[in-house]
Amino acid sequence: MSFTAITRTRACLLVAGIAATTAVAGAALPAAATPAPSPAPAHAASTVRSFPAVGTATGPDDITRLGDSIYVTFQNGVGPLGEAAPSGATASTIQQYSLAGVPGRSWSVTGKVDGLTADPEHHRLLLTANEDGNSSFLTLDPAHASAATRYTYQGLTHGGGTDAISVSHGSIIVSASNPTVPNGPAAYRVALQGANAVLTPILSDNSVATSANAATAGQQVQLALTDPDSNTVVPRSAPRFGGSFLLDAQGDKQLLFLNPSAREGAASHGIQVLSVAQPLDDTAFATASHRTLWATDPTHNAVDEISGPFTPGEAVSTITPDSGPTSLARLGLTDGSLTPIPGLGSVTPKGLLFTSAAHGDDEQGDQGDGEQGDQR
């Protein structure tokens, strides 16, 4: 066993001891409790601290920051249509952690929660449940232990479910996952009206885009998307695509960058497509002040905090190969190249989030306008 793996195990045991004293769902952890994970050198300039799931929660996925807390969805084996897990579980767990990794409140949300992001303007969390169908939209106020508020979709026309969420230029956007209707919407804007989440398409599976790869730059590309998945907002400080909405078509090995002002049916110059060699899940962007990477790690049922040599403007992606473990890679925004990050082989990531270690400086959450506080 490598030194990194040994330290990961010790960190998990130490925090697990803390988690055992955590109050039941909805109750805050006593202030006296503090975690003591040992930093694990991933390579000369980076460290990994691993914080385990709390109690029986399993399957960490999306991650976001709101204020001085990190929030993670644990899917607990629930199926993509909301089917019961082999354990009998029918609900996901939303788990709060402090920036030091101390577990706090938790909430049980019926279904498989796939999308999770912060809405700092309204100091709430936004969620989607069930990526393949029977999907719904939810809001959660983390200042209270009350249950999430669930909304019924109106205008969901692509036949599947919904996945990742972004807040871009004041608009809520969700991915249209698992399409079953030809040439349907790939992403929607969401308007919460009463008990409904009213959807408006902003991108179609068969939209025309402009190639963003250096070798084919400027060529027109007819999209044929089959797997809209993760999404995020590119910070304005990024060296390319700054301020764009980014949609990952995972199985299609394409990243779509949408001009925020574009609407369904707009000219193709509003959409750029960057092709990559392997399927990707989350992509996150480092900024001048946000260079601490958090990653959910389903293999180890943990959440990892990675302090490393991340430079402002660089993009980091989760590679999800057809076989074998997931891994971290630097994404080339010019050519779509994927470069493994040395020393981080012990991390098998899924959801990604760049943030800072400082308190109180991320009030725009991970999906705000311009220079976002965090990036998923």
Residue 308 has what pLDDT? 80
Supply the pLDDT for residue 35: 43
Q: Give the amino acid at 102.
A: V
Give the pLDDT of residue 281: 97
pTM of this prediction? 0.85
Count the Cβ atoms, other than its own, within 10 Å of residue 194: 8
Quote the tokens at residue 347. Answer: 């991390």
Could you give the count of Cα atoms lying within 13 Å of 134 in the half-sphere of its Cβ? 11
Phi and psi at residue 80, in whole multiples of 5°?
-70, -10
Neighbouring C-alpha atoms within 13 Å toward the C-beta of 215: 6
* Chain centre distance of CA 168: 15
Q: Which two tokens stand for residue 308?
A: 């490393």
Type of residue at 315? A
Tokens linked to 301: 């049922």
Measured distance CA(30)–CA(323) in Å, rounded: 42
Sheet with 228-233, side-by-side order of all strands: 220-222, 208-211, 271-275, 254-258, 245-249, 228-233
Residue ranges per structural domain of the chain = 3-355
Q: Which CATH number fits domain 3-355: 3.40.50.2300, 3.40.630.30, 2.120.10.80, 3.40.190.10?
A: 2.120.10.80
pLDDT at 50: 95
Tell me how far CA of residue 224 lies from CA of 31, 56, 245, 335, in angstroms: 52, 40, 19, 20
* Confidence (pLDDT) at 262: 52
Residue 309, pLDDT score: 83
pLDDT mean for each 10 residues of the chain (376 residues): 36 36 35 39 69 97 97 98 97 96 96 97 97 97 91 97 94 97 96 98 96 96 97 95 96 92 50 98 95 96 92 95 94 97 92 79 40 40
Q: What is the pLDDT of residue 268?
A: 42
Taking the C-alpha atoms of residue 133 and residue 160, their distance in angstroms, rounded to an integer, is 5
Within 13 Å and on the Cβ side, how many CA atoms surround 5?
Answer: 7
Determine whether 278 is exposed, middle or buried from the number of CB atoms within 10 Å of its CB (0-12, 13-18, 19+). middle
Whether 95 contacts 29, CB under 8 Å: no
Residue among 169, 170, 162, 208 nearest 188 (CA): 162
State residue 144's pLDDT score: 85
Show the CA angle centred on residue 129, arms to residues 296 and 199, nearest 5°.
120
Predicted pLDDT of residue 327: 96
How far apart CA 76 and CA 261 sit, in angstroms, is 38
